Structure 1
Amino acid sequence: MNPEVDPYFKAAGRWRAELVRLREIVLACKLSEELKWGSPCYVFEKSNVLIMGELKESCTLSFFKGALLKDPEGILDKPGENTRAARVLRFTSVGEIDELESILKAYIREAIELEKAGAKVDFKEAAELPVPDELQMQFDEDPDFKKAFEALTPGRQRAYLLHFGAAKQAKTRASRVAASKRRIFAGKGMNDCICGMSKRMPGCDGSHKDLKNFKMW
């Protein structure tokens, strides 16, 4: 156990007992414990393997490369519709965690073996999404904007392409592109925090709502 991570568990709310139990299981698999993005993160030779989280309705255990796991039990979910690599498990009781202990350890060991093998998630699918004409026009007019977009992670690029392309009217697509330019130049994804207050960095948890006169990008 890393003493620097202890305050997270002491300050945990409704799901404290569940998080502590998950911690025991993960540490039994010989992963290093660090505090990243304000949450307990478990690492194998400097590579992130798992991260814990606490939501209103559950606590979570997320695999950074969960898409590569075989998941024979079918227990892994995508955190979001556009998620490419991560997979998450949600828990609402210690008993639920205890029942899955052996399965969780097997999944964690598999994730460690993937890191040992240098396995990587294939993000090529993101590049296969069509670039809307309205976005391409902005690329042609502003090469720096194109470079900024291409510098984003594949997952962030995919989310923007889906967001722009989902609009049925050209006017709406153009408006969405224009509204997203500042975020893209800043290297931010659609759901990334821009106020610096989120407890779920880099994602936004709505903390900006507590700031007076705060204007979303």
Structure 2
Amino acid sequence: MEPASENKGIWKYGSQWEEELLLLKSILDKTELKETTKWGGPVYVYEKKNVLGLGGFKEYFAIWFFNGVFLKDEKKKLLNAQEDKTKSLRQWRFTSKDQVNEKEVLEYIAEAIENEKQGKIIKPSKKEAIISELLENEMSKNPALKEAFEKFSPYKQYEFLEYIESAKQEKTKLSRIEKVVPMILANVGLNDKYR
């Protein structure tokens, strides 16, 4: 363990929120979460799963719930910091100690822990299945192709389908199919050579 004085990793602005973050920590000490340090800040885990983190930012200090999307958030406290990027992380921001209501914080944390116990997580978004009629046609004419295609993992199948179907024009799709058919038959994934 490094000396505590150096462990100011509560992000860049931790020092201006020192008391506030200590207050949150004292509340967290009442839960069954274990404190660890990840990414330069305190992260609280339940059976090695990240449940929440604390941090000080320029304008506020915050608790963020790694799977906050599942919290009912009846008190409307949680924010999605980056709408388009963040699927499950939610932040609860404070600008002063007075805003920290221990009872509410503990309720949210208890719910977050319960969600972990139930194993609620967002599976990486199941990409929409892509259907390629052109490839389907090829496969119906060529059973060996179908068989070879089905040996690929769903992810690799998806890469082929996406590659074909992301072409705008029919003729490009056809030329892409010509390119991938030998790869499929040779059991070579679309991006294998880059992996």
Tell me the CA shift for residue 9 of structure 1: 7.4
> Is the CA contact 1:8–1:40 (under 8 Å) kept in the aligned structure 2?
no
- Does 2:191 align with 1:144? yes
1:4-153 superposed matches below 5 A: 7-8=7-8, 12-82=14-84, 83-97=86-100, 100-124=101-125, 127-128=127-128, 133=166, 143-144=190-191
Q: TM-score, normalised by structure 2?
A: 0.61
CA distance in 2, matches of 1:76, 1:113: 17
The one-character-per-residue Cα deviations of 1:63-88 (angstroms, maximum 9, x if unpaired) are 00000111111111102012111110
Task: Measure, in 1, the Cα distance between the counterparts of 2:3 and 2:32.
Answer: 17
Determine helix, strand or coil for the equivalent of 1:40. Answer: strand
CA contact (8 A) 2:62 2:91 kept: yes
Q: Structure 2: 5+ residue runs without aligned partners?
A: 131-161, 180-188
Post-superposition shift, 1:12?
3.0
1:4 is displaced (CA, Å) by 7.1
CA distance in 1 between counterparts of 2:58 and 2:48 reads: 30
Rounded to whole Å, the distance in 2 between the matches of 1:31 and 1:144 is: 41
Change (3 A) 1:45 1:62: same
| TM-score using structure 1 length | 0.55
Partner Cα distance (2:3, 2:29) in 1 = 15
Amino acid at match of 1:33: E
8 Å Cα contact 2:9/2:40 also seen in 1: no
Give, as a single letter, the amino acid of the residue that structure 1 aligns with 2:20.
E
- Contact 1:5–1:35 (CA under 8 A) maintained in structure 2: no
CA distance in 1, matches of 2:32, 2:121: 21
Per-residue deviation at 1:147? 7.9
Alpha carbon RMSD of aligned pairs, Å? 3.3
Structure 1 residues 133, 87: closer, same or farther in 2, change over 3 A?
Answer: same
What is the deviation of 1:106?
Answer: 0.6
Q: Which residue identity is paired with 2:114?
A: E
CA change 1:46–1:12 in 2 (3 A) is: same
Q: Deviations over 1:91-114 (max 9, x none)?
A: 1111111xx211110110111111
CA contact (8 A) 2:14 2:57 kept: no
What 5-or-longer segments of structure 1 have no aligned partner? 149-217
**Quick one: percent identity of the two aligned structures?**
33
Distance 1:145 1:92, change over 3 A: farther
